[in-house]
Homo-oligomer: A and B are copies of this chain.
Amino acid sequence: MMARPYNFSAGPAAMPEEVLQSAARDMLNWQGSGMSVMEMSHRGKEFTSICETAERDLRELLAVPDSFAILFMQGGGLAENAIVPLNLGQGGVMDFVLTGSWSEKSHQEAARYGSARIAASGQAQAFCAIPAPSTWQISSNAQYVHVCSNETIHGVEFDELPDLQALGSAAPLVVDFSSHVASRSLQWSRVGLAFGGAQKNLGPAGLTLVVVRKDLLGRALPICPSAFNYQLVAQNNSMYNTPPTYAIYMAGLTFQWLKSQGGVAALEARNLAKARLLYSCIDGSQLYTNPVDPSVRSRMNVPFFLRDEKGQAIADPSHPRNTAFLEGARAAGLLQLKGHKSVGGMRASLYNAMPLEGVQALVDYMREFEREV
């Protein structure tokens, strides 16, 4: 059998081959139950055990303290942009740090539910840098402060989460870690709530992970839909409404795979090596360019541009040099490298399931393409 191609999709993204093999094997009969996981009542003992194991493994993997609840929900990060202010905003002031498309969207959506303010913005630097926390204008009455710890589209990442207490604020920190979770360790002592879609580092699309400090439960506005009320979801062990059972199962298999790889510390070391390999290829070339300040470059999402004959970065996806690059990549077994439509160029996403060999194959191809162009 031919080796599988390397898949650099920004999400839904590559999953570990072992996880897919296990799912295929058990598709018609999970562990002798006579049922596919898809066919199980979410209240039956089989699925209950799958869900509890997944939550326990995730808690261990991410070192989530007992003072936090883990919720399995639906709707993705975009839905959480409304669900978070509905649950935590109390109709008051909410502060946002804008570092790219995702935090901008979060800010816009929250304005439906209270006073959404901008504490800091990297827009003037075209989101190629992150304003230093010491410069943030945090409202004294902020119900929470929102950051996106890794911007999937702009490719910028907080190397360290801000310490709001050290900045003189008692507001809880809300972290959108959709494209970041489980790629590196996380300082829970600085976090009030973290949320993210599973479809990047943790599993398939259709599952949203919410990790919330238990003392923040019970603050939902009356207009918060019951199905998205964190307290109700927590009280019902994520079974308030029918959960996305198969997505939870696949995420659970992925958690077990992540543990088998040595856990988050080992993955972080591997992710760092993968990112260094690709950025050093880009920085060492005349053809490729990445505009992000090296101190905040994302390890997960690496947007880059090819230059034209005059040395200008080419955003247009239909430029012949871009189409030639993508066609050659596909022929070399390197898939889904096209950049996000709002930015153009290329993007390689290097989530947990991407092996170092995949990045090496990409770098080899990029060097060969540069020699021949």
Contact = CB atoms under 8 A, between A and B. Distances in A.
A298 interface: no
Interface stretch (A1-9, A156-164, A278-286, A287-295): A1-9
Interface stretch (A22-30, A56-64, A141-149): A22-30
A40 interface: yes
5 contacts: A7-B34, A21-B27, A35-B335, A78-B227, A205-B245
A13 B47 CA distance: 12
A11 B217 CA distance: 29
- For the complex of A and B, the 10 pairs showing the least CB-CB separation, nearest first, are A206-B244, A82-B225, A78-B241, A24-B27, A79-B227, A5-B34, A74-B74, A38-B204, A206-B206, A78-B227
B245 A246 contact: no
A197 B74 CA distance: 13
Given A12-B245, A24-B27, 4 more contacts: A5-B35, A24-B24, A197-B242, A244-B244
B34 A241 contact: no
A44 B7 CA distance: 12
Interface centre among A20, A333, A341 (most CB of B within 10 A): A20
A14 interface: yes
Interface in A221-254: 222-223, 225-228, 240-247, 250
Contacts of A319: none
A15 to B, nearest CB: 6
Interface residues of A, number: 68
A205 B34 contact: no
A6 to B, nearest CB: 9
Contact of A39 (B9, B74, B82): B9
Interface centre among A35, A204, A241, A242 (most CB of B within 10 A): A242
Interface in A166-182: none
A197 to B, nearest CB: 6
A75 interface: yes
A243 B243 CA distance: 15
Contact of A242 (B205, B222, B250): B205
A336 interface: yes
Contacts of A27: 20-21, 23-24, 27
Contact of A228 (B41, B79, B247): B79
A131 interface: no
A39 B24 contact: no
Given A4-B34, A74-B206, A109-B225, A20 B9 contact: no
Interface in A87-107: none
Contacts of A41: 9-12, 336
Contact of A227 (B24, B40, B75, B223): B75
A77 B241 CA distance: 8
Contacts of A352: none
